[in-house]
């Protein structure tokens, strides 16, 4: 295979680069040679020696990395192609040069942890609902496995001890396989391409602040080199002598050093003799965050699926009138078998109480349900909301300063806030961490897929002209209107879960305690700006609280989101009650006596949570009593008593 020699590899604008092609064997007669520079165009070959070319770099050529490519067009054989990278640098200012002066946003130097953020964003996008649907639909239709990727580990046989649940069992196993194949990134210095397969390089270029004229292939290789440096960097003494070549995320490398006396064992060995660190957990982190499940549950995804399951079992909903009384799922279609399996598998799913305890363990938040007993967690994160909302507020200030071309935005406040959030996140990274978020994601993806079934449109018809980004969303919004639940669209809750997950993963797995360079914090804020501002907008839409506003006292709103959601729900109830009272007074004044049932809908109060009342004003710094989410029909007696199952 041919190679290219570049002289010099770094050239200033207006300079000349000589390119020499060296084939591994003499070219046969009839061979033609062509040259090009990606991002610039074709180059003429030397008439005397076609294996040589010269690139006269224009004075206004955009600085950055480029790729020179030579192609040997061989007669009766495949073309031999070789490439080499070179860098164009800015030409120093010389006497007589005309200088254009303009104010631009202050730039920053690239940092290697940008590659981690690219891997996180790509990994989380690969387990989105639309990707899940594209994976599951062919399997459920019997057309085969759509993804040839190998799962991170083997799974054994799966079975449910109930008849007639084959369709649901297939859905459950296929969902587990989907997460095994798609979730996480394999940290391996010999495999630098798989974490970035399919990455939108133009989008990454914009987030990195790189020039748009730089060759895409060269930019992709630059990301891989940053990733290699990031997973290989360690100071002397930070690796065991027999693990000097072990590639790890720097944060996990610090944890490995703390457990230096333990050996790394294989994932499928659990005996006493295999006492040590699981290799799969250390070198193949799964990028899942429980905040995704929390916001989807606040958006009433789980409650919508449980309401359909209750109607399937002929269980009456709360209130005098059940808005799902019209739902009749005939046994002739596949949805009936899927719902039968879903109902039968209830005892194997996570209960709302278990999720509530874990929400509190990770983030110090939980759902508030009237009449439910308060939870009693052993370990909670009551300061997480304050720290996370402070970070979001400081990034808003940073963005305003960064957009002002007359000043240089300071990244130190953002860096300090990142350290606070990182510390709180890692304190909750124990016990059920990893397994419970995985299981919650698997169950909620299945519920989304069931709600997205075309049969559901007959029972939960949505607004046709609303462009929902995922198929299940209009069913949940319709359910919320029928039940009188929170009035905000589930789109905002989906965005809160999606953006929150990506932001927290970049903080959790970054080694922020070892960072003292404000450039890294500035790069973090610029890279995740779209997600940060999207989270701020959606949070304001569902809670009415603007976390981006500057406050004179420097404090941020650290109230649990469930309190704000309850308040907005009661405000909606009050508006409906006022409207209904005005309608009844008008009927009495006109002499009409119209019964309530003839209005064609249930009275709004009937479908609101029982014992609902306005939240009381609490002293500053005191959090409301934490209560778990409303439990679904058929819950166990232990869950009704407020104790973890099995106690």
Residues 6+ apart with CB under 8 A from 335: 329, 450, 453, 455, 456
Distance CA 38, CA 300 (A): 50
Lowest mean pLDDT of 158-172, 334-348, 408-422, 603-617, name the range: 603-617
- 235-244, 400-409, 438-447: which range is least confident on average? 235-244
Least confident of 163-167, 206-210, 425-429, 511-515: 163-167
Q: Residue 74: give the domain boundaries.
A: 3-89
Residue 481: what pLDDT? 93
Looking at mean pLDDT, say which of 25-39, 453-467, 519-533 comes out highest: 519-533
Beta bridge partners of 56: 16
For 371-389, write each residue's pLDDT tens digit: 667 889 999 999 999 999 9
Q: Is residue 428 part of a domain?
A: yes
pLDDT of residue 634: 43
- Asked whether residue 29 is assigned to any structural domain, the reply reads yes
**Three-point CA angle 514, 517, 518, nearest 5°:** 125
Please tell me the predicted confidence (pLDDT) of residue 260.
81
pLDDT bracket for residue 638 (50, 70, 90): very low
> Do 66 and 215 touch, CB atoms closer than 8 A?
yes
Residue where a domain stops, chosen among 566, 599, 620: 566
Rg (C-alpha) for the chain, rounded Å, is 30
| Highest mean pLDDT of the ranges 110-114, 278-282, 547-551, 568-572 | 110-114
Q: Which two tokens stand for residue 219?
A: 């930019």
Neighbours of 373 (CB within 10 A): 14
- 286 in a domain, yes or no? no
Percent of the chain whose pLDDT exceeds 90: 55
Q: Which of 38-52, 391-405, 533-547, 567-581 has the lowest mean pLDDT?
A: 567-581
**Residue 578 binned pLDDT confidence (cut-offs 50, 70, 90):** low
pLDDT level of residue 647 (50, 70, 90 thresholds) = very low
pLDDT tens digits for 517-528?
999 999 999 999
Q: Is the pLDDT of residue 34 over 50?
A: yes
| Exposure of 627 in the CB half-sphere (CA atoms within 13 A) | 16
> In the prediction, which pLDDT does 142 show?
78
Class of residue 327 by CB neighbours under 10 A (exposed 0-12, middle 13-18, buried 19+): middle
Question: Where do runs of H (alpha helix) occur along 299-434?
Answer: 301-312, 334-344, 352-363, 384-403, 412-427
* Low-confidence winner among 250-264, 450-464, 473-487 (lowest mean pLDDT): 250-264
Q: Is the pLDDT of residue 416 over 90?
A: yes
Choice among 101-115, 246-260, 289-303 with the minimum mean pLDDT: 101-115
Residue 381 located in a structural domain: yes
Distance, in Å, from the CA atom of 205 to the CA atom of 209, rounded to the nearest integer, reads 6
| pLDDT at residue 602, as a whole number | 37
Helix axes 518-527, 529-543, angle to 10 degrees: 60
Considering only residues 20 and 367, tell me which one the structure prediction assigns the higher pLDDT: 20
pLDDT at 368: 67
| pTM, rounded to two decimals | 0.77
More confident residue, 544 or 586: 544
Q: Is residue 545 part of a domain?
A: yes
Mean pLDDT of all residues in 621-630: 49
* Tokens linked to 250: 């720097």
| Non-local CB neighbours of 206 within 8 Å, separated by 6+ positions | none
Which secondary structure element, helix H or strand E, spans residue 98, and what is its range? none
Mean pLDDT of the residues in the chain: 84
Q: Is residue 34 part of a domain?
A: yes
| Residue 440 is assigned to a structural domain of this protein | yes
SS3 content of the chain, % helix, strand, coil (to 5): 45, 10, 45
The residue-averaged pLDDT of 330-338 equals 91
Q: What is the pLDDT confidence band of residue 615, given thresholds at 50, 70 and 90?
A: very low
Residue 184 is predicted with a pLDDT of 87
Domain annotation covers residue 287: no
Q: Give the DSSP letter of residue 438.
A: H
Q: CA separation (Å) from 228 to 119, 123, 241, 336, 476?
A: 12, 17, 20, 50, 43
Looking at 89, 121, 147, the residue that finishes a domain is 89
Number of domains in the chain: 2
**Helix, strand, or coil here: 179?**
helix
Do strands 80-89 and 64-73 pair parallel, antiparallel, or not at all (unpaired)? Answer: antiparallel
Q: What is the CATH number of the domain that holds 17?
A: 2.60.40.1930
Which of 543, 566, 589 lies at the terminal end of a domain, its last residue?
566
Q: What is the mean predicted confidence (pLDDT) over 323-328?
A: 92
Q: With 70 as the cut, is the pLDDT of residue 628 above it?
A: no
Which segment of 10-19, 88-97, 173-182, 209-218 scores lowest on mean pLDDT?
Answer: 209-218
CB atoms within 10 A of CB 340: 21
The stretch 195-211 carries a mean pLDDT of 89
Higher pLDDT, 150 or 189: 189
Measured distance CA(204)–CA(118) in Å, rounded: 7
How far is it, in rounded angstroms, from Cα 454 to Cα 457? 6
- Report the DSSP pairing between strands 16-22 and 52-56: antiparallel
What are the Cα distances from residue 282, in Å, to 19, 185, 250, 251, 265? 44, 11, 11, 10, 10
Q: How far, in Å, CA of 455 to CA of 81, rounded? A: 54
pLDDT at 616 exceeding the cut of 90:
no
Please give the C-alpha separations between residue 26 and each of 23, 30, 74, 79, in angstroms, as whole numbers: 7, 12, 11, 14
Q: Looking at 58-72, 347-361, 607-621, which range is the least confident one? A: 607-621
Max CA separation in the chain (angstroms): 105
The string of pLDDT tens digits covering residues 525-577 is 999 999 999 999 999 999 999 999 877 777 899 999 999 999 988 888 777 66
- C-beta of residue 368 within 8 angstroms of C-beta of residue 562: yes
Say how many C-beta atoms besides its own lie within 10 A of residue 233's C-beta: 14
Q: What is the pLDDT of residue 380?
A: 94
Burial (CB count within 10 angstroms: exposed 0-12, middle 13-18, buried 19+), residue 44: exposed
């Amino acid at each position: 295979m041919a190679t290219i020699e570049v002289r010099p590899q770094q050239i200033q604008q207006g300079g000349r680069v000589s390119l020499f092609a060296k084939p591994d064997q003499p070219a046969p007669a009839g061979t033609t040679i062509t040259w090009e520079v990606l991002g610039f165009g074709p180059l003429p070959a030397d008439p005397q020696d076609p294996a040589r070319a010269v690139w006269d770099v224009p004075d206004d050529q955009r600085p950055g990395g480029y790729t020179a490519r030579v192609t040997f067009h061989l007669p009766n054989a495949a073309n031999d192609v070789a490439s080499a990278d070179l860098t164009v640098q800015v030409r120093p200012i010389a006497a007589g040069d005309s200088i254009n002066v303009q104010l631009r946003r202050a730039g920053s130097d690239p940092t290697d942890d940008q590659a981690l953020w690219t891997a996180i964003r790509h990994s989380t996008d690969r387990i989105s609902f639309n990707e899940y649907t594209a994976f599951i639909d062919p399997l459920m239709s019997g057309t085969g496995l759509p993804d040839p990727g190998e799962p991170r580990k083997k799974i054994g046989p799966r079975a449910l001890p109930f008849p007639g649940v084959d369709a649901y069992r297939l859905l459950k196993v296929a969902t587990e396989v989907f997460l095994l194949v798609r979730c996480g990134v394999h940290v391996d210095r010999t495999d630098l391409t798989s974490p970035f397969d399919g990455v939108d390089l133009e989008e990454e270029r914009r987030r990195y602040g790189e020039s748009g004229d730089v060759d895409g292939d060269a930019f992709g290789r630059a990301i891989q080199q940053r990733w290699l440096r990031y997973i290989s960097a360690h100071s002397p003494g930070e690796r065991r002598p027999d693990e000097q070549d072990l590639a790890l995320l720097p944060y996990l490398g610090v944890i490995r050093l703390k457990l230096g006396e333990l050996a790394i064992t294989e994932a499928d060995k659990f005996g006493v003799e295999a006492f040590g660190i699981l290799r799969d957990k250390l070198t193949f982190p799964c990028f899942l965050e429980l905040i995704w499940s929390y916001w989807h549950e606040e958006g009433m995804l789980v409650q919508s699926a449980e309401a359909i399951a209750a109607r399937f079992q002929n269980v009456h909903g709360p209130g005098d009138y059940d808005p799902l009384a019209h739902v009749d799922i005939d046994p002739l279609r596949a949805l009936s078998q899927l719902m039968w399996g879903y109902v039968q598998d209830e005892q194997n799913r996570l209960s709302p109480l278990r999720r509530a305890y874990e929400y509190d363990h990770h983030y110090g938040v939980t759902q508030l349900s009237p009449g439910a007993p308060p939870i009693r967690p052993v370990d909670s994160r009551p300061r997480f909301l304050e720290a996370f909302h402070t970070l979001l507020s400081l990034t808003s200030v940073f963005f305003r300063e960064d957009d002002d071309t007359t000043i240089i935005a300071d990244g130190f406040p953002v860096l300090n806030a990142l350290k606070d959030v990182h510390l709180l996140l890692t304190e909750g990274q124990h016990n059920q961490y990893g397994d419970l978020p995985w299981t919650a994601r698997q169950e909620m993806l299945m519920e989304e897929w069931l709600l997205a079934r075309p049969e559901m449109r007959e029972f939960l018809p949505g607004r046709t002209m609303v462009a929902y980004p995922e198929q299940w969303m209009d069913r949940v919004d319709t359910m919320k209107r029928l039940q009188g639940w929170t009035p905000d669209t589930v789109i905002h809750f989906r965005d809160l879960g999606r953006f929150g997950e990506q932001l927290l993963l970049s903080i959790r797995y970054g080694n922020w305690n070892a960072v003292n360079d404000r450039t890294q914090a500035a790069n973090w804020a610029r890279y995740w700006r779209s997600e940060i501002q999207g989270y701020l907008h959606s949070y304001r839409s569902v809670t009415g609280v603007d976390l981006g506003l500057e406050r004179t006292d420097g404090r941020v709103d650290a109230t649990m989101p469930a309190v704000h959601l309850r308040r907005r729900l009661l405000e909606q109830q009050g508006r409906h009650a006022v409207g209904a009272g005005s309608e009844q007074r008008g009927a009495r004044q006109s002499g009409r006596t119209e019964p309530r049932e003839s209005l064609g809908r249930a009275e709004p109060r009937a479908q609101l949570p029982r014992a609902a009342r306005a939240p009381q004003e609490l002293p500053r710094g005191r959090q409301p009593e934490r209560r778990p989410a409303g439990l679904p029909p058929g819950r166990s007696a232990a869950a009704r008593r407020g104790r973890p199952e099995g106690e």
